Chains A and B, each alone.
Chain A
């Protein structure tokens, strides 16, 4: 009995509340023009704010997006590695050029040495002043 009365009471309260609310809704239909316009302007301003907030969020994401995809939780590490790669390549290239040039020079010297050693003329002859004189005179005769 009490429960039934309580239930009916709640039901009646809800119905009364909704009826009052329905009357209040009439008031919102008749708002003055300037109030409605100002509310509309406020709404547009709020939507503008949302755009700004979204742009800020997107730009933040874009700024961290490159790192995010490459680093998987270690921001900056891959960036540092990527920046060091060209420098490393340059150093390795210089070392390789140096090694190749040294080898070429050594090969040239070896060829000269081999030519001297395999020639009929003994190497000691080049240090003889008479042989040098002979070369000069023979080259003069040829001209």
Chain B
């Protein structure tokens, strides 16, 4: 059973990422705060007795459900999630060469050291904009997998889908982001 201290530390460690993730989904700070607060309350109230190791996955699942509830309440779910299983992307026909990105990454340290704060902020804004443009499931899988650093099985459990779907979502999200950022001339 997680102690109060463990639960507090866990919430502290995830609250900001959870807020940003919600913002990427709902594009509204106030709503994102409400969603995160709801998620925290539900976790503490219903799962506060669970072991600390189970908290990350539970929280991600609760956060996803709360976000979905928000969309339901807004009655815009059908509009926003109509392409839930439609993975076709505008630029999908363009072949995204991941190895090209890999090559760029080899010089990333030099690039970063030369990058000014302003450029970093611009890059961040561009990345955020592109993430917001991703289909909801791809965005969710990508953020859980790489930002929350859940493994494929945990992401699948949190999203309520198969591991294969998670891999597909993540792969397509990476391809879409890579293509979009390359089109903007942004390298990481």
Contacts and interface: CB of A to CB of B under 8 A. Distances in A.
Interface residues of B, number: 48
B145 A16 contact: no
Interface stretch (A49-57, A62-70, A108-116, A124-132): A49-57
B105 A15 contact: yes
A57 B99 CA distance: 55
A100 interface: no
A39 B30 CA distance: 11
Contact of B44 (A12, A31, A47, A57): A47
Contacts of A51: 4
A120 interface: no
A28 B33 contact: no
A57 B167 CA distance: 40
A16 B49 CA distance: 37
Interface stretch (A18-26, A88-96, A135-143): A18-26
A42 interface: yes
Given A8-B99, A17-B170, A28 B7 contact: no
Contacts of A39: 15-16, 19, 33, 36
Contacts of B102: 8, 11-12, 15-16
A31 B15 CA distance: 11
Contact of B29 (A8, A19, A35): A35
Contacts of B36: 39, 42
Contact of B128 (A24, A45, A49): A24
A23 B123 contact: yes
The 8 closest A-B pairs by CB, nearest first: A46-B40, A17-B146, A50-B48, A28-B16, A42-B37, A50-B44, A46-B44, A21-B146
B123 A46 contact: no
A24 B16 CA distance: 11
Contacts of A20: 127, 131, 146, 177, 188
In the complex, which range does the number of interface residues on chain A fall in? 35 or more
A26 to B, nearest CB: 6
B68 interface: no
A13 B188 CA distance: 13
Given A25-B147, A39-B33, A47-B44, A17 B124 contact: no
A74 interface: no
B52 to A, nearest CB: 13
A49 B8 contact: no
Interface string B105-117: 1001000000000
B147 A21 contact: yes
Nearest to B148: A21
Given A8-B102, A16-B188, A24-B147, 6 more contacts: A9-B99, A11-B102, A25-B147, A27-B128, A45-B40, A50-B45
